[in-house]
Amino acid sequence: MIRIDMITVGMFQSNCYLVSCSQTNKAAIIDAGDEAPRILERVRSLGVDVQMIVNTHAHLDHVAALPDVVPALEVPVWMHRDDRALYEGCLLYTSDAADEEDSVDRG
């Protein structure tokens, strides 16, 4: 079963999601917008194994926690290829980019 936990983060009050499988305990973070310590604490408290971070787009309120979350969890970051220039302009982390026809299977 899929479990979805929401954390409202940052001064823009953006929603960050931890989506996990209750059977495998594998998880993804969606939109790590800010407050990396809170996000990492939620990961620890849930005991999930984060496999990746997915960003819906590259606005600052969706990517600001990446400089702390990515090295702490050592996971790739995924977002649509069209947001790459904006994302790299923020001087943050990137692992790969995806096109609309791409898919990712992580349990």
Residue 7 has φ and ψ, to the nearest 5°, of: -125, 125
Which segments of the chain have a pLDDT < 50? none
* pLDDT of 105: 63
Q: What is the pTM of this model?
A: 0.80
Tell which residue, 80, 43, 39, has the closest CA to residue 58: 80
